């Protein structure tokens, strides 16, 4: 009786299970409520997905050691489906000409369910290649004054070096050196053969391998000769199907990518200036304004687009093709706010205009005495010392002479520069007609009437004191 009871309970459970699953489990070829056709049951499931490259003609293969079932994607939607797979784990392979083979291990097919692989985006990198530098369509910031361009490839298998080097080409054509066992992700300012064996300090450099034989090498860097490393150039790189691994397996399709170089030693997101926008107390001796563009500019249209307020005579200099120096021909006006605008009509060397106007402003410091010799409160000053006054701009000599006073009174005359040099034009030196008296305090004042070459006077009088050495 107990055995019979268990059998009855089991029968009831089967009926309940069948009843609870009635809305989800369908016979092969039977449509569900949404009109879709399901082929799964409690021992089977379906595998579906979509390939983004719908015109690739991709083949979908499901296997367990050996292929079990194969289909092709829908040419209009990229969808694929393999139905009524027995529950378990499968390997999924999707392959198409000129695309990297997509492999997904241990795909689980659940009982009575659907395994969705999502949207699969094929890679155009061949199967033997893991990654490369630069990446496709990269923009490489590069200065050909001291750098050389590097192109690196990391492979998934040990490669035959001779076949890879023969299959590698650049457009425009270049000459260069192949370094195996290295993967470099930046332009270089040296040849690797000329540096020590300790590469750990090189930025963007991975030593990759210790080379002892011609096999088991999976990384390569091609360093272009500097004569062929051009700025503002697009390079097209090809590694043909002649490249093979050490077992003779060739690339199924070529590796092809391109990158462009931009002339600069650093990269800017926008226009940079020196002085910076909003700077105050800018030294008037900053006699030029530097504008650095994110790309190389056409001088004629750029110069025509520049305006400066207040109006000022200025000259244009181009230390580099993306750097404009605006030279005023003299120190800047003191205690003045400068506003510089570059009209959006300024064009780069490709004829592309800035589009938007660019403006920045800064303010200069007032006319000031920056230091003196002797210094204020200095003691033990030699009686034969000269008095030198340093300014933050070029001064009118006669205005300094008339604004100068010293107590006790000392006669003398003024000369440009310092005691030992007349080249410093923002300094003036008072030469006493006779030595100072010993053990005497001298008070020097420079009145506010002293003015610079633009007619701007000192912001306030300046005074300092010194004491000469005692008499021995």
DSSP string of 64-84, one letter each residue: ESEEEEEEE--TTT-EEEEEE
Q: What per-residue confidence (pLDDT) applies to 265?
A: 54
Strands (E), 233-366: 234-239, 255-263, 272-274, 288-292, 306-309, 315-320, 323-327, 337-342, 358-363
* pLDDT of 23 higher than 50: no
pLDDT of residue 141: 80
d(CA 252, CA 182): 24
β-bridge partners, 80: 49
Q: In percent, how much of the chain has pLDDT > 70?
A: 84
Would you state the pLDDT for residue 5? 36
Contact at 8 Å (CB) between 73 and 29? no
The confidence score (pLDDT) of residue 194 equals 39
Bridge partner residues of 48 (DSSP): 81, 116
Secondary structure percentages of the chain, helix, strand, coil, to 5: 10, 40, 50
215: closest CA among 239, 240, 245, 193? 245
**Predicted confidence band of residue 124 (pLDDT cuts 50, 70, 90):** confident
Least confident of 25-29, 186-190, 220-224, 356-360: 25-29
Least confident of 105-119, 157-171, 208-222, 338-352: 208-222
Q: What is the mean pLDDT of residues 441-465?
A: 96
Please say if the pLDDT value at position 193 is more than 50: no
Spatial contact of 304 and 347, defined as CB atoms under 8 Å apart: no
Could you give the C-alpha distances from 85 to 29, 46, 47, 275, in angstroms and in order? Answer: 14, 6, 8, 71
User: Once rounded to an integer, what is the mean pLDDT over residues 190-201?
Assistant: 42
pLDDT for residue 167 is more than 90: yes
Could you read off the pLDDT of 446-456 as tens digits, one per residue? 999 999 999 99
Band (pLDDT 50/70/90 cuts) for residue 21 is: very low
pLDDT at 463: 97
Higher pLDDT: 425 or 290? It is: 290
> pLDDT grade, residue 168 (50/70/90)?
very high
The pLDDT, as a whole number, for residue 129 is 94
Q: What is the mean pLDDT of the chain?
A: 85
Tell me what pLDDT residue 269 has.
58
Q: Is pLDDT larger for residue 69 or for residue 208?
A: 69
**pLDDT tens string 237-276:** 999 999 999 999 999 999 999 999 876 655 555 888 999 9
405 versus 294: which is more confidently predicted?
A: 405
6-15, 54-63, 115-124, 125-134: segment of lowest average pLDDT: 6-15
- At 189 the pLDDT is 64
Residue 367, judged by CB atoms within 10 A of its CB (0-12, 13-18, 19+), counts as buried
348 membership: H or E segment, kind and range: none
Can you list the domains of the chain with their CATH numbers? 19-120 (2.60.40.10), 129-263 (2.60.40.3710), 272-363 (2.60.40.3710), 369-468 (2.60.40.3710)
Confidence of residue 423 (pLDDT cuts 50, 70, 90): confident
In the predicted structure, residue 464 carries a pLDDT above the cut 60: yes
């Amino acid at each position: 009786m107990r055995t019979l009871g268990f059998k009855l309970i089991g029968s009831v459970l089967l009926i309940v299970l069948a009843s609870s699953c009635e809305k989800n489990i369908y016979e092969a070829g039977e449509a569900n409520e949404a009109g879709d056709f399901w082929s799964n049951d409690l021992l089977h499931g379906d595998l579906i997905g979509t390939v983004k490259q719908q015109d690739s003609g991709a083949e979908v293969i499901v296997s367990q050691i050996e292929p079990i079932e194969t289909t092709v994607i829908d040419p209009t939607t990229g969808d694929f489906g393999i139905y009524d797979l027995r529950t378990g784990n499968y390997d999924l392979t999707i392959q198409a000409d000129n695309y990297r083979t997509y492999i997904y291990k241990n795909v689980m097919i659940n009982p009575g369910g659907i395994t969705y692989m999502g949207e699969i985006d094929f890679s155009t990198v061949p199967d033997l290649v893991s990654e490369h530098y630069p990446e496709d369509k990269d923009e490489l910031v590069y200065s050909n004054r001291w750098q050389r361009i590097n192109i690196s490839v990391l492979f998934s298998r040990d490669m035959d070096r001779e076949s890879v080097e023969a299959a590698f080409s650049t457009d425009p054509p270049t000459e260069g050196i192949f370094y195996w066992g290295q993967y470099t992700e930046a332009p270089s300012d040296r040849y690797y053969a000329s540096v020590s064996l300790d590469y750990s300090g090189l930025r963007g450099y991975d030593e990759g391998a210790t080379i002892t034989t011609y096999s088991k090498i999976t990384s390569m860097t091609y360093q272009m000769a500097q004569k062929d490393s051009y700025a503002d150039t697009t390079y097209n790189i090809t590694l043909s199907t002649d490249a093979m691994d050490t077992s003779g397996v060739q690339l199924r399709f070529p590796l092809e990518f391109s990158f462009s170089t931009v002339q600069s030693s650093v990269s800017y997101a926008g226009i940079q200036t020196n002085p910076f926008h909003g700077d105050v107390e800018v030294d008037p001796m900053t006699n030029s304004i530097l504008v650095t563009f994110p790309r190389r500019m056409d001088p004629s249209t750029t110069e025509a687009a520049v305006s400066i307020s207040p109006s000022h005579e200025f000259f244009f200099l181009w230390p580099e093709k993306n750097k404009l120096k605006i030279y005023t021909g003299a120190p800047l006006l003191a205690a003045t706010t400068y506003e510089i605008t570059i009209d959006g009509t300024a064009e780069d060397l490709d004829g592309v205009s800035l589009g938007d106007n660019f403006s920045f402003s800064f303010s200069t410091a007032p006319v000031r005495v920056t230091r003196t010799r002797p210094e204020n409160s200095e003691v033990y000053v030699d009686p034969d010392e000269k008095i030198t006054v340093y300014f933050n701009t070029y001064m009118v000599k006669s205005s300094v002479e008339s604004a100068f006073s010293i107590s006790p009174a000392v006669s003398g005359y003024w000369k440009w520069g310092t005691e030992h040099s007349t080249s410093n034009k923002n300094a003036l030196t008072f030469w006493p007609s006779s030595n100072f008296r010993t053990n005497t305090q001298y008070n020097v004042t420079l009145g506010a009437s002293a003015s610079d070459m633009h007619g701007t006077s000192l912001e306030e009088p300046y005074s300092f004191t010194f004491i000469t050495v005692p008499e021995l």
